Amino acid sequence: MGIGNIADTGMRAAMSNMEVISHNIANANTIGFKKSFINFADIYPSANGASNQIGLGVDVSSVNQNFATGSYTYTNQPLDLGINGNGFFIVKDPSSGQISYTRAGRFEPKQGYITFGNHRLQGFTAVNGTIPAGSSITDLQISNASLPASATTNVQIKVNLDSNSTVPGSVFDPNDSTSYNYQSTANIYDSLGNTHAVTSYYVKTAANNWNVNVYVDGVSVGSGSMTFTTSGQLSSSTGLGSLSYSPTTGATSPQAFALDMTGSTQYGSANSVNLTEANGYAPGLFSGVNIDSDGKVYMQYTNSQKLLAGQVAIANFQSPEGLIDIGNMSWIASADSGSAIVNQNNSIGNIRTGYVELSNVDLTTEMVNLLSAQHTFQANAQVENTYNEVMQTVIKL
């Protein structure tokens, strides 16, 4: 191989380098893009040749990608996701079943799935509000269906009953405020989501002893008692754990619920309600999707409820540089990358909701590299021109 051929290898290598750099520059604004760099190797006639053998030029040994994290930009879109730290989103082509990996977390809802183009985002599916341990990854699905009402089954009330209260002198009557010492009200839901008022009337019967008379919508549903210690703590509560009422709304009837007075006190201070909580809720319309930093996907509703649908899976690799680029900011695993490492607690990286990761291309650096590659090409072209001039001179001799 002559000097001209050696110069040709240099020009071809420089051209390849400019192609790689140009590809980087072209994708400087592509979400999730990872820049590439080229590696060269010198060429010799024989690996076992003499120590004074002359080289034959240069060749491209590999083109690799730099998986350094790009900067993030805030979009305020609930399905735009970035990964803090290492890792890739897992997406699946439903037609071929091919699994690929991406950092370009611009997702959108489509036909009940969270999608990346025509690919479906993979994760762990929730069952009854929890994600079972050891779950396999599958298509993450969301539903825009309404959330049915949930009937109240438990009401928790924490009250303080004034220890200075006196025993009323008349038989309890909810219409006679002198026949009880205090009252509290909480709202509950029936199976259709209609609200009902639960009113509890507290009647002191003796030192540290109280009766609790419970009414729903003005109708008595039962009574119980509370006993307090000499230090004002609730020591026992009876008769309140199994109450029921009969809605007239067409809902399930009778509707059972429990009244939990745990945490109530009897101190020498004014009667007061310190906590009122009840489960159950009215029906709600689907209002959107929220994904938290652990990748948990919640469907949100207009009744302020949310339902866990699943959790985004994040994959990592022993050697990400060994991934095969298939375009569209996506890669597939190879023998060089190793198999994907996926776990449920997302210890690899956490999610940034409302952000997308930008390209990791630095335009200034790439322009400097492009000029360097251009100079290398020109230098090799000059070598070839010089070689041709020398050969013309030799021919004329």
Dig out the tokens for 141 from the structure: 């699905």
- The C-alpha atoms of residue 101 and residue 316 are separated, in whole angstroms, by 9
> Which CATH number does 154-278 carry?
2.60.98.20
- The C-alpha atoms of residue 263 and residue 374 are separated, in whole angstroms, by 78
DSSP assignment string, 123-166: EEE-BTTB--TTPPPEE-B---PPBPPB---EEEEEEE--TTPP
Which of 57, 43, 74, 51 shows the shortest CA–CA distance to 12?
57
Instruction: Give 50's pLDDT tier (boundaries 50, 70, 90).
Output: low
Instruction: Kindly give the pairing relationship between strand 255-260 and strand 154-160.
Output: parallel
- The C-alpha atoms of residue 9 and residue 192 are separated, in whole angstroms, by 78
Are 118 and 92 in contact by the 8 Å Cβ rule? The answer is no
More confidently predicted of 228 and 348: 228
51, pLDDT greater than 60: yes
DSSP assignment string, 51-106: TTPPP-EEEEEEEEE------EEE---TTBEEEEES-EEEEE-TTT--EEEES--B
Compute the average pLDDT of residues 212-234. 98
114, pLDDT greater than 70: yes
Within 10 Å of residue 203's Cβ, how many Cβ atoms?
Answer: 21
Q: Domain residue spans in the chain?
A: 3-68+359-396, 72-147+286-357, 154-278
Looking at residue 23, what is its pLDDT?
97
Looking at residue 1, what is its pLDDT?
55
**Whole-model pTM?**
0.82
User: Which residue, chain included where needed, has tokens 């010492």?
Assistant: 181
Q: Which amino acid does the sequence have at 158?
A: K
Structure confidence by residue, pLDDT tens digits, 54-77: 778 889 999 999 999 999 999 999
User: What's phi and psi for 321, nearest 5 deg?
Assistant: -65, -20
Are 289 and 102 in contact by the 8 Å Cβ rule? The answer is no
Looking at residue 53, what is its pLDDT?
75
Measured over the CA atoms of residue 58, residue 59, residue 63 and residue 64, the dihedral's sign is negative
Structure confidence by residue, pLDDT tens digits, 256-303: 999 999 999 999 999 999 999 999 999 999 999 999 999 999 999 999
| pLDDT averaged over every residue in the chain | 93
DSSP 8-state class, residue 265: B
- The C-alpha atoms of residue 388 and residue 397 are separated, in whole angstroms, by 14
Which of 126, 138, 354, 157 shows the shortest CA–CA distance to 257?
157
Instruction: Give 393's pLDDT tier (boundaries 50, 70, 90).
Output: confident
Give me the percent of the chain exceeding a pLDDT of 90.
84
Looking at residue 284, what is its pLDDT?
98
Which H helix or E strand runs over 114? strand 113-116
